Amino acid sequence: MMQRYWVYFIFLSLFFVGCSEKPNSKVSTSIEDTKTDTIKTIAGLSWYLNIETALEKAKEEKKNIIVMVGEDSCRWCKKMKEQTLTDKQIQDKLKAYILVSVKRSDKDALKYLNTFDGNIPSFFFMQDNKELIESIVGYFKADDFLDYINEIEE
């Protein structure tokens, strides 16, 4: 009877150890190697999940940055992603920026956003040198969000 338990124990141990490892995993040392780990598709656009990586990309491409702060459980964040950010005019406009999506709980990311007050969704328009251009808070319909982006660009 005791041997049967040991056999089950060994089998289960090997099963869980085998499931916890990623096949063909490699250690990434450069930004290019980790690029797929730092990008998320939101409303059909690529958003960086790491501000530092996005800042490097912005300098490289000489683009400004839009940082969106939200949470998966925020209904206004979801509405912004599903309705506003899927608008064709908004998507065309956002292609001129390096896009970053961070969670409100990400303390490392928030150190770049000194004026963040905890309200979500929040959007921060920044230059590649980390200088804040403007920020807005809340849900916006596509037309209003587009007007706001156009005002910032003027």
What does the pLDDT read at residue 108?
85
Give the integer Cα–Cα distance in Å for 96 and 49.
18
Average pLDDT on 9-28 reads: 35
What does the pLDDT read at residue 109?
84
Q: What percent of the chain clears pLDDT 90, i.e. is strictly above it?
A: 53
pLDDT band at 153 (very low <50, low <70, confident <90, very high): confident
The pTM (predicted TM-score) of the whole model is: 0.72
Average pLDDT on 62-72 reads: 94
What does the pLDDT read at residue 68?
95
What does the pLDDT read at residue 83?
93
What does the pLDDT read at residue 34?
38
Asked whether the predicted pLDDT for residue 6 surpasses 60, the reply is no
Q: What are the φ and ψ backbone dihedral angles of 95, each rounded to 5 degrees? A: -65, -15
In the chain, the domains with their CATH numbers are 26-153 (3.40.30.10)
Residue-wise pLDDT tens digits, 97-149: 999 999 999 888 888 898 899 899 999 999 989 899 999 999 999 999 999 99
Average pLDDT on 87-99 reads: 94
Average pLDDT on 67-80 reads: 94
Asked whether the predicted pLDDT for residue 26 surpasses 50, the reply is no
Torsion of CA 153, 87, 66, 52, to 10 degrees: -150
123 - beta bridge partners? 68, 136
Asked whether the predicted pLDDT for residue 16 surpasses 70, the reply is no
